[in-house]
Each structure stands twice: as structure tokens, then as C-alpha cells.
Structure 1
Amino acid sequence: MRIAELADRHVAIWGFGREGHAVIKALRSQLPAQALTLFCRAAEVEDARAFDPTLEIVADEPDAAALARFDVVVKSPGISAYKPALLAAQAQGTRFTSGTALWFGENPDARVIAVTGTKGKSTTSALIAHLARSSGVRTALAGNIGLPLLELLGQRADLWVIELSSFQTGEAGPLELGVVTSLYEEHLDWHGSRERYVADKLKLADAARTLLVNGLQPNLLQHTAAHPHRLLFGVPECWHVADGTIRRGAQAVFDIAQLVAPGLHNALNACAALEALEAIGMDALAAAPALATFRPLPHRLQPLGEHDGWHWVNDSISTTPLATLAALESLHGRTVTVLVGGHDRGLDWTPFVEAMRAAPAHAIVCMGANGARIEAALRKAGTACPVVRVADLAGAVAVATTHAPRGGVILLSPGAPSFDQFTDYAERGRRFATLAGFDSSGIVSIDGLGIEGTPRD
């Protein structure tokens, strides 16, 4: 759908976060006289009026009747496409779209690499953009990583690297390359079931001319076997990790000890980025040395430094138990006290519990809404390390310092969303940094968002 198609139609915007702001601004730039209704929370009404005084504002969660009044509703990604009210309005003829879908409608000829995955999608997206820019390509980095696409409407790039969440994969238009870094269960509250999550995540395959997937994941290989142009990373015949190096087939290319971002999973993300560049015809071998200058993304295994005798690591982006296990693997050999727990989405913590029974952390501090459930599972399994439950992050940090030995690591890797205590993972990470004694004001954004590089003539 193009923005021009909304002219003289009954249009609503649902959600007033950053995506909602971008949608309103984009529609006003092209359709200044268009009547627009905004559905937002009561706490957002004053800000919404200041942002655009011409909006009709409804400070309620819309029901089916309210939504059915509109020809088109542009919704924010966090609003589930499976809400009963939305489905009922859709059945009555209301069309639902998004800022992502509108951007693709406006840019049908853009050269796009779209990246999704349960884990690794943000880092892989940022790595692709970093390596492409190091090769002299004017590259945009946007999407779910922290910059809505519509904020770049009308701007020019030779390559668009777009991170898409499972909420957004079905909104992508045709694209040159789709990348799937991993596939585990997540966001079951939004999708309703694991099967629907997998199906929604892999809608990216329908849009991608070529699909690049993690060859180390049998379930991902099974679900994408029918794609006519599928490539792999992580396996010996492709870009992969072996003997402490990133390799292209048998050729050793880059020593993973030079990566600032720690852990085997980040080396695998680098393989995905290099394979992606090669898939679109770029010289990945020439770009590989630039891996050494890539800065880790904030809140993703971010070393904060040493304070009061402990080493502090902020992995607030971790919202699944498997992400927490990956964080612990990256710190293998060190004495780690890990902070887990948060908003309860009903995910299965069994793999984490089994791993902790086999090779426990130094101590585990459980917090938040699902802290009691995690603690109970760990105790039932007979985990052979201290397991403590507290109410919130402040309590978790305080307790962690009583268990972690001097020189040890205190790791925030919650394995759960932040919504029980914070607005998002970034606020949680900054709060952790403050509690640890660091200045959190510098942990504000991801390097490289937007468009960088010299445009081609």
C-alpha cells in the first residue's frame, strides 16, 4: 500500500510509541489535510495533542466496533495481529497495515537485506551495515533495531539493512535477501502459539528472492527446505567458525579473539553477515578485517567494566531462557552470578534448568513476575549453586554482590521481557548500569542507525 492510497479514506493510527510518531509525521508530510484518528493510552493524550493538534484522539483500547469505523488502521508492531477486536474488524472490511508495510510500498525498488531471528538479528543487522559501509557502500540501518523505517522516508541509500521482528516479517515487500539467524519460541503472548510464531517468523521467506539461514539449526532447515534459493551459514562449506577462527570454507579468515563482541554466537553472527554480503555480490573476504572495529550493541552482552571489585555485564536484551544460556556460554570459565526473570510470557525454562543442573553458575538470582516460577524449577532440579529470589532488579543487584566473589562477573541476562518493571529492555539495562555504579547516560542508542556512506552517482 502506498501512502497516497490513504487519501480521502477513514484512517486511524493505533499506538503512539516511536512507530506511531513516525507514521503520523509521514502521513502529514504527504497528506497534510488528511483526517486522522489516534488510539493511544490515556497517559499519552497530552503528548499526542502537542505532537499534532489536528488529531482526533481516542484514549481507550479500541473494540471491534471502534476499529470497524475505519477503512484503514495503521498499527504499531507491538499490537498483536491476533487480537479478537482486530480480527473482527478485519472481517468487516477494515484493512490493517503498518509503518513497515507503508515504507516498502513507497520503496519497491530499494535494495534490501532484511534480517530476523529469535536471537542475533540486531547484531547481525548492525554487522552487515558496518561491513558494507567499510566497503564503501552507502548503507541504511533501520527497522526493529531502533529506527522506524518511516523516519527515513524519502532518503536515499544504495543498500537497506532492515531488522524485522516476528511482528513485522509479514509486512515486508519483495526483497533481495532475507536472513534468519535462529528460531526458538518467543513472543507467544503476541502470536498465541509456538506454531504461529514460527509461521509468522518465516513469512520473511515468502518476500525474499534469496533466503540465508543458520545451517546449524535442524528445525530452521526443515521449515525452509522448500525455498528455491536458500543459502546457509555456520556449516563447513560456507562461512563458519572452527578452531577459534571465522572461516570461508577451508580458508581461515579472522581470529575470533579479535572480536570485541564476545561469545561463539557473536562469531556466528559475523558469519551470517559475511555470507549475506557474499550473497548480494560483495567481496566478503575484503570486508572481513572490519569485524575488528565493530562495537557491540548496547544491552547485548555489553561489558560495563569493573566496579567495587566485580565485573559487570549488561545483557538486558536477553528475553528468552536460551538467550541467557548463550550469554553464560560466552563467559565460560569465569565465575558468574546471573540475574534472571521478568515479565512472564509462559516460556519453557526447562533447557535453562537442565543446563544449570549440569553446569551451574556461581549463583542465580531470580526476580520479577516469573522469578518464583524459575526459582521453583531450579530448586526442584536440585541445582547445585545458591538460588535466591527477590522482588525487583534493585534487590537482585544487592543480593548478587553478597554472593559474587571479588573478581567475579555479575551478569544481567534476564531471559524475559522487562514489562513487569520497565518500559523496555533499554530502560532495564540503564537501571542495571546505575545500580552497578556506572554512568548510564552514555547507554542511549545503537551506533550506526540511519544512513551512512557516500551515495553513488
Structure 2
Amino acid sequence: MRISQLEGRRVALWGWGREGRAAFHALRERLPGLPLTLFCPEAEAEGARAETGGALQVETDATGAALSRFDVVVKSPGISPYKPEAQQALEQGTQFIGGTSLWFSEHARVDGVLPGTVCVTGTKGKSTTTSLLAHLLRAAGHRTGLAGNIGLPLLEVLDPQPAPEYWAVELSSYQTGEVARSGARPDVAIVLNIFPEHLDWHGSEQRYIDDKLSLVTGGHSRVAVLNAADEHLRALQLPHSEIVWFNQPEGWHMVGEVVHRGAQPVFDTSDTPLPGRHNRGNLCAVLAALEALGLDAVALAPAVRSFRPLPNRLQLLGERDGLRWVNDSISTTPHASLAALDCFAGQRIALLVGGHDRGLDWHDFAAHMRDTAPVEIVTMGGNGPRIHALLQPLADEGRFGLHAAGDLPHAVELARAALGAQGGVVLLSPGAPSFGAYRDYVARGRHFAALAGFDPDSISAIPGLGIA
């Protein structure tokens, strides 16, 4: 659906975060006379009225009946369409769309394909991969837009002049279905991996997988770049797309620390700033995508050395009091915490885990702790007690130290004491969202940096956002 198609229809916005604000400004610019209603929490209502100069009718009770009054509801990504009130309105004929869908519809060509648009998704590594893609495209001299779930809503860059040659777009599982519903086809779609996550939003593990994969199963990109090492991806059949596999011997893959294209060694990643072996492996996905765009990926690979890692993603803050501090606040699954531990294998680690409880299974994490445990594990947050109970039998065997913290400051205090004068790495990789205790993972990472003695402002900016 294009924005012009909203003319004359009853339209509401649902959510007043950055995505909601972006939708408001885009609709107001294109359709200045269109009446708009906003559904948001009571705490945000007065601020929304003041910010929009009264241009919005604000309501604070998004019931199914209230939503049903509208033909179209432009929903923020964090609000699940599977909520009972959304389902009730849907049954009454209300259409739910998001800013991602609007952006793709606005940019779609006659045949549906968006030339030069590369979408990236995956349970972990998608932000670094998207940013790295934009970095290499710019290194080749191409004007490139970096936007989406990475921190810049697409509707904030709806009509840039001059338009970029390429778009690097990160999509969360909340947004992938929007692409399929827009009718637009990405030029290239990258799917890195699939692990259970966001089950509270999607409602089940299978629905999460289906929604995540809808980027390629429903988005029908010209080329789908898929990880051959992922069982969910290996099983895919995509009759509408060319499939390019990475992480297999015939394509782009890693041998030790060296990136290969088939049998050809291309680039030694050991001296690059990419954090963690999984991110170095995802470089293979980026190089495959560049090749799918018709660019010389072999020649571009060395430009990885000038890449600036993103904040909150295995981010080495520095050293304080004989300890190295690593901020991996974006880690929201047990698999992400395991990957973080692997990056510092062989070092003395105090790991901080726990946060909002979404019901994810931590048994596999606990099983790994039999052989690859850090020196100390500190649990915290809503699911902290559940993780603690799983780990207690192993701690009783003396495999690692285990403590429970009331909050992040307490967890940092316990980690300092556990590592002591011998030093080591204090690793915040919670494996869980920050909801409840913090506004988002960025706020959690900033607090961790401050507790460690670093300036939060200096570690928070995402390099390269926007168009350059």
C-alpha cells in the first residue's frame, strides 16, 4: 500500500516510539489534510499532543473495538499483530501495516524489484552484517543508505535527494513480513541464521520461524543469500529466487581465520575489527551479496580492516582496574551468550546473564557450561532465578562460581569481586531483553559502561547510519 492510497480512509497510528513518529511525519508530509488518531500509553499521550501541535487525536485504550473504527492502522514494529485486540479488529476488516511496508511500497518498480536494495535478517549478527555491507559498498565509492531496524526507521529516509545507489536495510522478525505484504521484491535478501527468539511477540517458535523466513518465502527477492550451516535455511525451497549459499565449500566460507571463495583463499580476517568468529563468518554473506549485485567482492574484502564495530555488540569498552569490560547488551538469546563466550575462550570471564523472561529454553546453555564455563556466572533480571536454578547443580560440582544479583549494579559488583586481582573479562551478554529494567538494550549498555567507569555517550553512536 502506497501512502497516497490512504487518502480518504480512516487511519490511526499505534505506537509512539521512533517508528511511530516517523510514520506521523511521513503521512503528514504526503497527506497534510488526512485526519490521524494515535493510540499510545497514557504516559506518552501528553507528550504526543504537545509534539504534534494538536494535529493528532490521541487515545490511550487500544481495544479491539477502538481499533476496529479504522480502515488502516499503521502499527509500530514492537506491537504484535497477534495480540487479541489486533486480531479482533482484523476480523472486523481493519488492515494493519507498518512503516517498513509503506517504504517498500513507495519504492517498488513496475516489476516489483527494488534494484540495489539488500535486506538483512537473522536471529543474531544482522546489525553488524548490514553495517558491514554498507561500509564495503561505500568503500567501493557507492552512495549507500543504511537504515531499518539498526536504528533509523525507513520512513525517516523516505525520499532522500539524491537517492542512494544502494540500500542496506536491517529487518527484525517484526518487519520481515512487511516486505512480503508490500508487493516489493528486494534485489538481494540475506538470512544469516534462525534461533528461537521473541516468542512473546510471535506466540510460538514455529510462527517466529515462519515470520522470519517470510522475507524470502514471501518477499521473493531476486537473489536469496542463505547460510548453508543452518538447518532451517537448508530446508528451504524458493522457486521465485536464485539461491546463493554461503558457509559451504563451493561458495564463500571460512577456513580457520581465512575467507575463501570456493577453493581460493581471499582474505585473512585475523587482524580485522570484526568481533567474534560468527561475525567473521557473516562476512561471507556480505561478500556473496556484493557478488550478487555484480560487484568485485574479492577486491572489496580488504576494506573490512577499516570497519568500525557497532556499540553493544561484543563491544570492548576498554580496561579498568585490571579488568577488560565487554558490552554485548544486544544479546537477547542464550545462543548469543554462548557465541559471546566463544569469543573469549581461554580467558578468565565473569558472565552477566538474565533479563526479561520470554520463556526461552536455557537447557542448551546449561549443557554447554559443563565444558566451556566461565570463571563466574552472575544471574539477574526476571529470568535470573530460572537460569540460576538450571546452573546450580553444575556450580555445586565446582565447575564455576554462581551468584544471583538483584540488578545490574549488583551484578557488576559481584563480577569484580569474583575476578579479583587476577583480572579477566567482565562480559555483559544477558541472553535476554532489557524490558522492565531499561527502555531498551542501548540504555542497558550505557548503564553498564557507566558502572565500568566509561563515558556512555562515547560508546553509543552507530557509525554510518543514514546516507553517505
Tell me the TM-score range normalised by the shorter chain: over 0.9
Aligned residue in 2 for 1:63: 63
Kept in 2, the 8 Å contact 1:247–1:253? The answer is: yes
Partner residue, 2:263? 250
1:220 aligned partner: 233
CA contact 1:211–1:227 (8 Å) conserved in 2: no
Is the Cα–Cα contact under 8 Å of residues 338 and 365 in structure 1 kept in the other structure? yes
2:169 to 162, 169, 174: 162
Alpha-carbon offset, residue 42 of structure 1: 1.2
Are positions 1:116 and 2:116 aligned together? no
What code does the residue aligned with 2:167 have?
A: W
Superposition deviation, residue 227 in structure 1: 6.1
Residue 419 (structure 1) aligned to one of 413, 426, 435: 435
| Letter of the structure 2 residue corresponding to residue 291 of structure 1 | V
Q: SS at the partner of 1:365? A: strand
Unaligned runs of 5+ residues in structure 2 are: none
Note the C-alpha offset of 1:223.
3.5
Q: CA offset at residue 423 of structure 1?
A: 0.6
Match for residue 296 of structure 1 among 300, 309, 313: 309
Corresponding letter in the other structure for 1:158: E
| Secondary structure of 1:197 counterpart | helix
Secondary structure of 2:96's counterpart equals: strand
Which of 243, 247, 250 aligns to 1:230? It is 243
Matches within 5 A, 1:139-178: 139-155=144-160, 156-172=163-179, 173-178=184-189
Q: How does 1:258-277 map to 2 (within 5 A)?
A: 258-277=271-290
How far apart are 1:226 and its partner, in Å?
5.8
> How far apart are the structure 2 equivalents of 1:96 and 1:25?
18
Asked if the contact 2:149–2:171 (Cα under 8 Å) also holds between the matched residues in 1, the reply is yes
**Change in CA separation of 1:226 and 1:325 when aligned onto 2, cut-off 3 Å:** farther
CA contact (8 A) 2:246 2:288 kept: yes
Q: Which runs of 5+ in 1 are unaligned?
A: 453-457
Output aligned runs, 1:240-389, within 5 Å: 240-382=253-395, 384-389=399-404
Q: Which amino acid aligns with 1:79?
A: I
1:225 offset after TM fit, Å? 6.3
Instruction: Answer yes or no: is 1:198 the counterpart of 2:209.
Output: yes
8 Å Cα contact 1:301-1:315 kept in structure 2: yes
Between stretches 314-323 and 378-387, larger displacement belongs to 378-387
- Map of 1:455 onto structure 2: none
Counterparts of 1:222 and 1:295, CA distance in 2: 34
Q: Which amino acid aligns with 2:17?
A: G
In structure 2, the CA distance between the partners of 1:179 and 1:389, relative to structure 1 (3 Å rule), is same
TM-score normalised to structure 2 length: 0.94
Give yes or no for the alignment of 1:127 onto 2:161. Answer: no
Shift of 1:54: 3.2
Secondary structure of 1:198's aligned partner:
helix
Matching residue of 2:90? 90
Give the 3-state SS of the residue equivalent to 1:258 in structure 2.
coil
**2:444 paired residue number:** 428
Q: 1:450 and 1:308 mapped to 2: Cα distance?
A: 37
Q: 1:318 to 1:25 in 2, by over 3 A?
A: same
- Between stretches 426-435 and 241-250, larger displacement belongs to 241-250
Instruction: Output the CA distance in 2 between the equivalents of 1:147 and 1:292.
Output: 25
Which residue matches 1:403? 418
Distance change (3 Å), C-alpha of 1:226 and 1:309: same
**Separation in 2, partners of 1:190, 1:57:** 27
> Structure 2: how far apart are the matches of 1:445 and 1:23?
23
Conserved 8 A contact 2:37-2:59: no
**Can you list the C-alpha shifts for 1:335-365, whole angstroms capped at 9, x where unaligned?**
1110000000000001110011222111000
Q: What is the count of residue pairs matched by the alignment?
A: 452
Q: C-alpha distance in 2, partners of 1:423/1:262? A: 25
- 2:249–2:262 Cα contact (<8 Å) kept: yes
Q: Aligned letter for 2:190? A: V
Cα deviation, residue 57, structure 1: 3.7
Residues 1:335 and 1:137: Cα distance change in structure 2 (over 3 Å): same
Structure 1 residues 348 and 226: CA distance shift in structure 2, 3 A: farther
The equivalent residue for 1:179 is 190
What amino acid is the match of 1:51? E
Q: Distance in 2 between matches of 1:32 and 1:122?
A: 34
1:20 aligns to what? 20
Alpha-carbon offset, residue 41 of structure 1: 1.2
Counterpart Cα distance in 1 of 2:61 and 2:425:
43
Which one is further off, 260-269 or 312-321?
260-269
Report the AA paired with residue 385 of structure 1: F
Provide, for residues 379-425 of structure 1, a one-character-per-residue CA deviation record: whole Å limited to 9, x for no partner: 13456100100111010001100001433000000000000310100
Q: Shift of the alpha carbon at 1:59?
A: 4.2
**CA–CA distance in structure 1, aligned partners of residues 414 and 80 of structure 2:** 36
Is 1:392–2:403 an aligned residue pair?
A: no
Partner SS, residue 267 of structure 2: strand
What SS does structure 2 have at the residue aligned with 1:322?
helix
In the alignment, is the contact (CA less than 8 A) between 1:261 and 1:301 conserved in 2? no
3-state DSSP of counterpart to 1:257: coil
AA in 1 matched with 2:234: L
CA distance in 1, matches of 2:101, 2:166: 18
Percent identity between the two aligned chains: 52
